[in-house]
């Protein structure tokens, strides 16, 4: 049976092909660096690309075949399962029940990099996600970035590269992933473009997140969030009721969705103010109309608040009360219904 890592290293999501060619161009030109920072939104395919690159560096130069959505999602879900892999491929990620990559994990890889490769070729370490490195771990990694061992390569994956120390970023060559257009994702998934457009509005532009949402039929969850928030904004549903539901359910999903919707609404207003004829997405009209009388400043304040609450999840904050305060600020017509 093919392992998750083998699936992701032998096959490539189609939108990643130009970035792979960028890497190959550097290799053919003899300008291949020791460390690469692969950045892009969560769900854009960074791990898939890193494993294909690792396979190339470890001596398998065959061209990858196309990776379909079902295989991509299955492989990503199982990527940390214990399994056999290439002895010269090493993987740093937060250990079970932890959120950071420790200095000891980095030191283990540094020690391995000083040894001869098991198969006599290159040695590759993938750091995923790079922003999970503790300060001590990043400082330890900096040593090998400055004085790399011959034939050793680091692939740092990050969807928040700004959180990495500038000293680490500056010593890496960069590969930045961009989301493909709606039509390309629809072709890859084998669905109609409007289905992708709706999922994209709800979960963002990252294709693997779109694929997961469509596969799990999550659009109904987001439609419920949209309806409830429109009802709340029109004072037909109590903020406390919505806050309690969000606190008991998937709070991170609800807050991430709200942040995207607030961003979308603000962008729509600023675009209109600039004289654009851009049309509002029909599916978003209900909430757009409910928020029509809210000042842009209020929307911006709640966007910032949603961002802060996302960062504070799991910190001991009374999330129920925090959600209630935020949602109360989005009620447009208190006492008028």
- pLDDT tens, position by position, 293-329: 889 999 999 999 998 898 888 777 889 999 999 999 9
Q: Provide φ and ψ at 249, rounded to 5°.
A: -95, -145
Domain boundaries, the chain: 4-176, 182-217, 220-328
pLDDT at residue 26, as a whole number: 86
| Cα radius of gyration (the chain) | 23
Q: How far apart are CA 131 and CA 286, in angstroms?
A: 37
Contacts of 123 (CB under 8 A, 6+ apart): 88, 90, 112, 113, 117, 149, 151, 152, 153
pLDDT tens digits for range 141-193? 998 888 888 889 999 999 888 888 899 999 999 999 988 999 999 999 998 88
What DSSP letter does each residue of 193-261 carry, written as one string? Answer: HHHHHHHHHHH-S-HHHHHHHHHTTTHHHHHHHHHHHHHHHTTSS-HHHHHHHHHHS-HHHHHHHHHHH
Q: Tell me, which fold does domain 220-328 have in CATH?
A: Zinc Finger, Delta Prime; domain 3 (1.20.272)
DSSP labels, 2-36: --HHHHHHHEE-GGGHHHHHHHHHHHHTT---SEE
The pLDDT of residue 326: 93
Q: Is the pLDDT of residue 112 over 80?
A: yes
Question: What's the rounded mean pLDDT across residues 201-224?
Answer: 81
Q: Please tell me whether the peptide bond between 129 and the residue prior to it is cis, using omega within 30 degrees of 0.
A: yes
Are 268 and 201 in contact by the 8 Å Cβ rule? The answer is no
- More confident of the two residues 3 and 226: 226
pLDDT of residue 275: 62
Q: What is d(CA 32, CA 262) in angstroms, rounded to the nearest whole number?
A: 42
Examine the pLDDT at 197 and tell me if it is beyond 50.
yes
The answer to whether 3 and 76 are in contact (CB under 8 A) is no
The pLDDT confidence band at residue 211, using thresholds 50, 70 and 90, is very high
Q: Which CATH superfamily is domain 4-176 in?
A: P-loop containing nucleotide triphosphate hydrolases (3.40.50.300)
pLDDT at position 224, please? Answer: 83
d(CA 26, CA 192): 37
Mean pLDDT of 98-121: 87
8 Å CB contact between 68 and 207:
no
Q: For residue 240, name the pLDDT band (cuts at 50, 70, 90).
A: very high
Determine the average pLDDT of the residues in 16-28: 89
Q: Using one digit for the tens of pLDDT, what is the confidence trace for 55-101?
A: 889 887 677 889 999 888 888 888 777 666 788 998 899 887 788 89
Beta pairing partners, 175: 38
Which tokens go with 258? 């709200």
- At 250, the pLDDT band (50, 70, 90 cuts) reads confident
Q: What is the mean pLDDT of the chain?
A: 85
């Amino acid at each position: 049976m093919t392992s998750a890592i083998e699936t992701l290293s032998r096959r490539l999501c189609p939108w990643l092909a130009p970035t792979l060619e960028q890497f190959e161009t550097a290799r053919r030109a003899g300008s291949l660096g020791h460390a690469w920072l692969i950045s892009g939104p969560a769900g854009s395919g960074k791990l898939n690309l890193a494993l294909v690159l690792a396979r190339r560096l470890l001596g398998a130069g065959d061209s990858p075949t196309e990776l379909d959505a079902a295989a991509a999602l299955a492989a990503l879900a199982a990527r940390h399962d214990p399994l056999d892999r290439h002895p010269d491929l090493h993987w740093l990620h937060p250990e079970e029940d932890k959120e950071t990559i420790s200095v000891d994990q980095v030191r283990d890889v540094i020690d391995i990099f000083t040894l001869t490769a098991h198969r006599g070729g290159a040695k590759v370490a993938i750091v995923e996600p790079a922003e999970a490195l503790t300060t001590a771990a990043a400082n330890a990694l900096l040593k090998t970035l400055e004085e790399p061992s011959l034939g050793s390569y680091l692939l740092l994956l990050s969807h928040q590269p700004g959180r990495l120390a500038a000293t680490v970023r500056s010593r890496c060559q960069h590969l930045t992933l961009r989301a493909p257009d709606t039509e390309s994702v629809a072709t890859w998934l084998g669905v109609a473009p409007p289905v992708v457009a709706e999922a994209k509005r709800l979960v963002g532009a990252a294709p693997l997140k779109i694929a997961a949402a469509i596969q799990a039929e999550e659009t109904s969850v987001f439609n419920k969030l949209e309806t409830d928030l429109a009802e709340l904004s029109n004072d037909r549903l109590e903020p406390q009721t919505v806050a309690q539901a969000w606190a008991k359910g998937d709070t991170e999903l609800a807050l991430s969705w709200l942040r995207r919707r607030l961003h979308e609404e603000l962008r729509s207003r600023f675009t209109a103010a600039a004289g654009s004829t851009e049309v509002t997405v029909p599916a978003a009209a209900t909430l757009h109309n409910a928020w029509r009388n809210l000042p842009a400043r209020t929307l911006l304040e709640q966007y910032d608040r949603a961002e802060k609450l996302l960062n504070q999840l799991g910190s001991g904050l009374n999330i129920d009360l925090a959600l209630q305060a935020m949602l109360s600020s989005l009620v447009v017509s208190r006492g008028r219904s």
